[in-house]
């Protein structure tokens, strides 16, 4: 009898655990003391409006999941999100001349913080994704500073790096069909 009372509770508490289907883009790579994993999923709705291409005009939502490695020299704990990075992307279908470029935005979703953008692709096919990962900006009001003194300081920011991934895009399926 008590089992039937638990069913509505389980349905309510487990409903938030459903996530959109993410499709991995290659294997995670290392850069500047961080692990950079790339995925895509169906385009997403975003707040604030206008931050990126509307979902209705996009084919995918590209993401870079970036976390600190154990040997991170900039003070980030292993597995933690690394904020304030500048991430530029370039996408090209193998049999096309069209280059798709843009910048990822920092954002948060039900599975945690990441960098991403809604993107209109050049149709189905094999793509090359290049991510240019740069350290936080310096010298303006929204800088992400670092301690440099002997007692509490961390290493200088890493040098920008470029990572390349390959993947086949055949669609993301029907929204809500996951």
Give me the helices (H) in the chain, please: 2-15
Q: How far is CA 25 from CA 87, 93, 146, 165, 167, in A?
A: 16, 14, 32, 6, 5
CA atoms within 13 A on the CB side of 51: 15
Give the tokens for residue 139. 């010298």
Q: Could you give the CA distance from residue 105 to residue 51 in angstroms, rounded to a whole number?
A: 8
Spatial separation of the C-alpha atoms in residues 90 and 103, rounded to whole Å: 9
What residue segments make up the domains of the chain, in order of their start?
A: 21-169
Among 64, 14, 60, which residue's Cα sits nearest to residue 34?
64
Q: Could you report the per-residue pLDDT of 75-132, keeping only the tens digit for each?
A: 999 999 999 999 999 999 999 999 999 999 999 999 999 999 999 999 999 999 999 9
Would you say residue 73 has pLDDT above 70? yes
Confidence of residue 137 (pLDDT cuts 50, 70, 90): confident
Tokens standing for residue 8: 């509505």
Model pLDDT, residue 27? 97
Report whether pLDDT(4) > 50: no
**Cis amide bond preceding 48, omega within 30:** yes
Residue 14 — pLDDT band, cuts 50, 70, 90? Answer: very low
| Structure confidence at residue 143 (pLDDT) | 76
Q: Say what the pLDDT of residue 17 is.
A: 47
Q: How confident is the model at residue 172 (pLDDT cuts 50, 70, 90)?
A: confident
DSSP 100-137: EEEE-EEEEETTEEEEEEEE--SSSEEEEEEEEEEPPP
Which of the four pLDDT bands, split at 50, 70 and 90, describes residue 155?
very high
User: For the structural domain made of 21-169, what CATH number should be given?
Assistant: 2.60.40.2480
């Amino acid at each position: 009898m008590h089992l039937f009372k638990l069913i509505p509770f389980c349905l309510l508490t487990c409903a938030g655990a459903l996530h959109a289907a993410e499709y991995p883009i290659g294997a995670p790579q290392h850069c500047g003391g961080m692990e950079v994993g790339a995925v895509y999923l169906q385009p997403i709705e975003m707040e604030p409006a206008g931050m990126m291409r509307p979902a209705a005009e996009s084919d995918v939502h590209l993401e870079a999941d970036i976390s600190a490695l154990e040997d991170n020299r900039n003070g980030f704990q292993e597995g933690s999100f690394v904020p304030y990075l500048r991430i530029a992307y370039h996408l090209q279908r193998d049999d096309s001349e069209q280059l798709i470029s843009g910048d990822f935005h920092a954002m948060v979703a039900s599975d945690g913080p990441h960098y991403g953008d809604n993107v209109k692709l050049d149709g189905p096919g094999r793509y090359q994704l290049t991510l240019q990962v740069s350290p936080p900006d310096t010298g303006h009001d929204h800088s992400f500073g670092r301690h440099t003194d002997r007692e509490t300081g961390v290493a200088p920011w890493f040098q920008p790096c470029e990572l390349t991934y390959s993947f086949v895009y055949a669609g993301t399926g029907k929204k809500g069909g996951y």
